[in-house]
C-alpha cells in the first residue's frame, strides 16, 4: 500500500513557530523532502527543523530536490515531473514529508510538486499541514493589523506588472507585497495614483522572526528616505489608512 505525501509549512523562520502537528509529522515521516533553488545552496527550511529531526529515535532519510527559480516554464515543468516521479517512488514505500517555508498553499514550491503527484500518481495519499505565513508574521512583527471590519486585503507577488499593481491597489484597503518588498520605493507612485496617500501607513519587514529581523514602519511619503537593501526574504504591508504606531522607533522608522 502506498504511503502519504505530506506538505508541511515550517513557518517564516523562527523554529518556535512550527506547529505541534508539523513537529509530530516530522518526527514520524520516513523521508524528509527538502526543496532547494540550487544544488550547492543550503536549505533554510532544513535548518529550521534541524533540532526536531535530531530528537527522532531513528534518523530520517533526507531527500534534496532542486527547483530552480527561473521563468523557463518548459524546463520547470520537466523538473517538476522528474521530481514528482522521485517522490512517488519513495511515497510508495513510506511517508514523505515535504518541508516548505511559510504555508504549503501560499506561493510555495510544494504546490508545483503537489499538482504533479496528484495528477500522475492518484494512488498516493496527500496531506497538507498549514504553517504560519510571512504575511501574518510580518503583521505581528510590525504590530499592524492586516484587516479590520470590512477592509479588503490583496497579496501581491514578486512578478506582478506595474499595471496590475496599480489596478489591484484601486480595489484594496491594504496591500501585502511578497518577495519584492525591497522594491517598495518603485511602487509608491503607483499607489499614490490608486487611492493611497503619503500618510498611508507602510511597514517593511526583512528576515521576519529571525535574529537579524529588521522592521521599518512609517508613512508612505517617508519611504523614499528609507535605507532599503535588496532581500528576497522581505514583506511590505501598506495600509490605505493612517495607523497610530504603538512602539518607539528611531528617526529612520526602524524598530529598536
User: Residue 196: which residues within 8 A CB-CB, separation 6 or more?
Assistant: 169, 220, 238, 240
Kindly report the CATH number assigned to the domain that includes residue 156. Answer: 3.30.950.10
Q: pLDDT, tens digit, for every residue of 11-37?
A: 999 999 999 999 999 999 999 999 987
> How many C-beta atoms surround the C-beta of residue 255 within 10 A?
18
In this structure, the answer to whether residues 102 and 24 fall within a common structural domain is: yes
Kindly report the CATH number assigned to the domain that includes residue 45. Answer: 3.40.1010.10
Supply the pLDDT for residue 247: 52
Q: pLDDT, tens digit, for every residue of 203-237?
A: 999 999 999 999 999 999 999 999 888 788 899 99
The whole-model pTM stands at 0.89
The answer to the question of residue 55 being in a domain is yes
Q: The domain containing residue 176 runs over which residues? A: 134-239
Q: How far apart are CA 193 and CA 60, in angstroms?
A: 53
User: Residue 18: which residues within 8 A CB-CB, separation 6 or more?
Assistant: 10, 11, 48, 49, 52, 131
Indicate the DSSP class of residue 60: P
The grid coordinates listed for 85 are 516521479
Amino acid at each position: 500500500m502506498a504511503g502519504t505525501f505530506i506538505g508541511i509549512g515550517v513557518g517564516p523562520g523562527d523554529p518556535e513557530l512550527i506547529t505541534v502537528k508539523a513537529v509530530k509529522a516530522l518526527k514520524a515521516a520516513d523521508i524528509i523532502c527538502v526543496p532547494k533553488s540550487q544544488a550547492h545552496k543550503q536549505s533554510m527550511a532544513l535548518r529550521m527543523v534541524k533540532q526536531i529531526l535530531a530528537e527522532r529515535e531513528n534518523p530520517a532519510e533526507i531527500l534534496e530536490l532542486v527547483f530552480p527559480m527561473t521563468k523557463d516554464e518548459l524546463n520547470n515543468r520537466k523538473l517538476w515531473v522528474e521530481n514528482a516521479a522521485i517522490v512517488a517512488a519513495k511515497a510508495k514505500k513510506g511517508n514523505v514529508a515535504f518541508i516548505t517555508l511559510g504555508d504549503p498553499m501560499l506561493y510555495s514550491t510544494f504546490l508545483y510538486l503537489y499538482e504533479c503527484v496528484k495528477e500522475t500518481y492518484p494512488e498516493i495519499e496527500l496531506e497538507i499541514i498549514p504553517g504560519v505565513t510571512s504575511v501574518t508574521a510580518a503583521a505581528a512583527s510590525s504590530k499592524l493589523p492586516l484587516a479590520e471590519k470590512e477592509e479588503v486585503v490583496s497579496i501581491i507577488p514578486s512578478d506582478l506588472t506595474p499595471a496590475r499593481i496599480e489596478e489591484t491597489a484601486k480595489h484594496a484597503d491594504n496591500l501585502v507585497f511578497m518577495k519584492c518588498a525591497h522594491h517598495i520605493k518603485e511602487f509608491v507612485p503607483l499607489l499614490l495614483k490608486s487611492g493611497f496617500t503619503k500618510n498611508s501607513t507602510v511597514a517593511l519587514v526583512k528576515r521576519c522572526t529571525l535574529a537579524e529581523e529588521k522592521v521599518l514602519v512609517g508613512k508612505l511619503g517617508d519611504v523614499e528616505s528609507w535605507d532599503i537593501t535588496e532581500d528576497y526574504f522581505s514583506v511590505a504591508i501598506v495600509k490605505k489608512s493612517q495607523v497610530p504606531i504603538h512602539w518607539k522607533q528611531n528617526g529612520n522608522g526602524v524598530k529598536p
